[in-house]
Amino acid sequence: MEKFYKEVLMNGIKDMIFILEVVNNDFRFQFINTAAMERLNLSNQIIGSSIMDIEPMEKAKFLYKQYSKVVESQKSYTYEDVYEENGIKYYAETDLSPYFDEKGTVDRIIAVVRDITHERNALSNAMEMISGLAESNERYHSLFFHNTDGIFILNKMGYITDGNEASEHITGYKIKELFGQPLKELLDKEDTGNFDNLINKALKGTNQSGDLIFKNKNGDQVNIIFKIIPLIIDEKIIGLYGILKDVTEQLQSINKLEESEKRFRIIAENAHDLITLVNKDEEITYVSPSYKNILGYYHQEYLKKSFLHNVHADDQERLVEIVRNSISSGEPFTIQFRQKNAEGDMIWCESIGNPVFNHNNTFQHLVVLTRDITLRREYESKLKYFAYHDSLTDLPNRLFFKEQFAFAKEQFLTNNTPLALILLDIDHFKLINDTYGHDTGDAVIKEFGSRIKSSIRDHDMVARLGGDEFVILLSNIQSSNNAIEIAERINHAIRQPWKLNGHTLTVTTSMGIALASSQRTITESSLMKKADIALYEAKESGKNCYKLYNVNSSNLPSYTHKKTKL
């Protein structure tokens, strides 16, 4: 199953997925899926690199600003971006989600980039279609232009793209004066936050309504019941309908309720998510036909049943509490829980519930939208694994190494068990890449990691830091001889023939060994620095060798190395 979910993340998701590590106010790539590599012409060699290393300065500054918002707020953040490729303009929507370590600090950010070019183009096409229908379809003309309610067509940012005659009467503005302007500029300042909340909820796929105060062209206040409905084409939200009703006449309020119920029925009958209505007695009064497709039950089987019908016993108490609190407070809720399908399996679902009240503020019913999130739950549970492992070699990554080093350091200080680091890379790797291409370069890195892993002990760990750089954590070693023996085994493994992608290669490695053999204060950075010094000396000595830096022997490095004959 683990291989399956890794395959899903790498190749089964069309959206571009990135995992970036937060390192000292910088962001470094940990994981990219196939869609991202193909769309952006990237390779796994960017793993370990920062945004500033990969992107042009202007683009890097923009991305750095977006990712910094997630770190500062510790909340998810969504932004839209536009770019050109081969003279074609593309639009993208990026969801950034924080991932917290055990201390509650944001140490990684998961970015999911979705191509919304089709939605933008569809919105433009929809506007042309509506314009054509307005001229040729008398029924649409009557509904839209002669409706007593003001109707605006909005884009996803809440900007006005069209409107009917009634909206002109209510606001006092001609549509041409409002075209391309944000609708919330017509609102009383105290209601702009409520308006933004309605827009955000509607963009999640649910109809929203609320009481707002508008100011018309003369500066007069107009009390409006504002209803916002997602405009969906090809099952994607491309815009919004904003309906304005002047509530000075009670008859218009009654008409609003009737229209709302009718529209709800139309939407519910064609919905792909589960739609449920629950009355004040906590009984189900309506379920959408989609119950058959998702749960395998006919919707009639749920009528007059408790809203806990088929909910997992362990989730019922939590669901009851959140539903009753929602009805009491009048606030919507979101909850994840398990419920049984017709085959007897428990599936994970996510529900968004909204209590509905009449004009006397009496509770009428609860509208609940539910979707199956079983697959999402399962592959999200695997994200942690992929966040701790390198996608090319499947070896632990820098983050995993840091956590394992902290544990080894604790054992070192508690039990006085020596530990060592071996820092190593591939000699002349750039030449291999330039000569044989990135595919062969990736194959060399993958094989290199495999040979290292097969050369160390079961309780040791090798991690890929990025590019062709690897580190080995050796715990509970008896002396420097143990580290040297392992370095020799690695050299032996690397000396074996290399035949990859039809090429016979000569591959060697240089290694720097840092040993801490007595109790004292050590840090990952200090030991890594010593290993890096030793690696540098190995490189300066002509590569294809190792050198040892004994941290505790003196203040000066002492070196041992062996030149490998090819």
Kindly list the catalytic residues. Answer: 468
Residue pair 412/514 in contact (Cβ under 8 Å)? The answer is: no
CA separation for the pair 235, 273 (Å, rounded): 11
Residues ≥6 apart with Cβ < 8 Å to 59: none
Q: Are 94 and 112 in contact (CB under 8 A)?
A: yes
- What gap in Å lies between CA 138 and CA 13, rounded to an integer? 43
117 CB-contact burial (10 Å; exposed 0-12 / middle 13-18 / buried 19+): middle
CA distances from 293 to 268, 270, 278 (A): 14, 12, 21
- Euclidean distance between CA atoms 263 and 207, whole angstroms: 9
Nearest Cα to 515, choosing from 425, 424, 418, 447? 418
DSSP state of 563: P
Pick from 416, 410, 418: nearest CA to 551: 418
Alpha-carbon separation of residue 296 from 22, 42, 305, 367, 529 (angstroms): 44, 43, 17, 21, 60
Handedness of CA 113, 114, 115, 116 (dihedral sign): negative
CB-based burial, 397-411: b 16+ in 10 Å, e otherwise? bbbbbbebbeebbee
Separation CA 432–CA 507 (nearest Å): 9
In contact, 319 and 338? CB cutoff 8 Å? no
How many Cβ atoms are within 10 Å of 429's Cβ, its own excluded?
Answer: 19
Distance CA(66)–CA(78), nearest Å, equals 9
CA 307 to CA 72: how far, in whole Å? 39
Q: Quick check: helix, strand or coil at residue 129?
A: helix
Alpha helices (runs of H) in 388-510, residue ranges in sequence order = 398-415, 429-436, 438-455, 480-495
Sign of CA dihedral 477, 483, 484, 490: positive
Give the residue among 2, 1, 52 at the shortest CA–CA distance from 26: 52
CA nearest neighbour of 28 among 387, 517, 375: 387
- Upper half-sphere CA count for residue 84 (Cβ side, 13 Å): 3
Minimal CA–CA distance to 492: which of 514, 508, 473? 508
Find the DSSP H helices in 330-387: 374-387
Q: Which residue, chain included where needed, has tokens 């040729």?
A: 136
